[in-house]
Structure 1
Amino acid sequence: MDLALWISAWVLAGVALVGGVSKSFVPKEKLAAVHGGGWTEGVGARSIKALGVLELLAAVGLVLPGLLGRVAVLVPVTAGCWVLLMVGAMVTHGRRREFGFVGLNLAYLALAAFIAWGRFGPESFPG
């Protein structure tokens, strides 16, 4: 199970890294032009960048504390925060009737919930 949790954390960290880089460094107009970028309508550029920074922090928080064995409780805490972020993403895409993205966000939510459950519970990191 430990291996499944590590793989899940790395996959989700990759998703967070890609999303974080694009939201942090790609101009709002270019984000809006890509498939699924319509959610940026009515959202300020600073808010988009703030989401990007949160995603970059999540990418780090999902793997680095566990790798270093320092403050490893941040891994399941980060995964729990990702669950909340995905609920927001699902609501946003649901309002726009982008149900494919709702499903994708649900998959990311499930992965994050698995990590949070596993790292808070049966496969928690040593003290």
Structure 2
Amino acid sequence: MTITLWIINIILAISFVGSGLMKIGRAKTSLVESGLEWADGFSETTVKLIGAVEFLGALGLILPKSLNIAPVLTPVAAICLTLVMIGATVTHARREEITDRGLPAVGLGILAAASAILGFATL
């Protein structure tokens, strides 16, 4: 079960580090032009905040458990990322793009929820 948790967390961490840094490092207009049209409905600050939460959540999936410093923070980070992905799914559903652009958010949300469950089970 621990190996499965690590595999899930590594996949999630890679995904959220990439998407988080992209949202932090690029202007909102650049994100919208590159296909993230949902960002147009949010302020620049909110988009950067979402990116920061994703990046910090990715760190939270890996660092506490690997360093054995407050390992309970790993499943807590997974819960937080699950909530972020629920928000992303709702945003895509409201924009009526759940089937073409929202499926990654659904998939990452399911993986994050699985990480939280496995994380608490392995404490």
Deviation for aligned residue 1:101: 2.6
Identity %: 35
Unaligned runs of 5+ in 1: none
Could you say what secondary structure the match of 2:101 adopts?
A: helix
Aligned to 1:113: 113
TM-score where L is the length of structure 2: 0.95
Q: Could you tell me how far apart the structure 1 residues matched to 2:37 and 2:103 are?
A: 17
* Residue identity opposite 1:68 in structure 2: L
Aligned to 1:9: 9
Deviation for aligned residue 1:42: 2.7
Could you say what secondary structure the match of 1:101 adopts?
A: coil
Q: Alignment RMSD, CA only?
A: 0.9
Superposition pairs of residues 59-74 of structure 1, within 5 angstroms: 59-74=58-73
Q: Is 85-94 or 98-107 further displaced after alignment?
A: 98-107
4+ residue runs over 4 A deviation? none
TM-score where L is the length of structure 1: 0.92
Q: Could you tell me how far apart the structure 1 residues matched to 2:113 and 2:76 are?
A: 10
CA contact (8 A) 1:23 1:31 kept: yes
Residue-by-residue CA offset, 1:20-68 (whole Å, 9 max, x unaligned): 1011011111100122x11011311111111111111011000000100
Unaligned runs of 5+ in 2: none
CA contact (8 A) 1:90 1:101 kept: no
Residue-by-residue CA offset, 1:61-114 (whole Å, 9 max, x unaligned): 000001000011010000001111011000101111112232211111111111
* Residue identity opposite 1:5 in structure 2: L
CA contact (8 A) 2:28 2:40 kept: no
Number of aligned residue pairs: 122
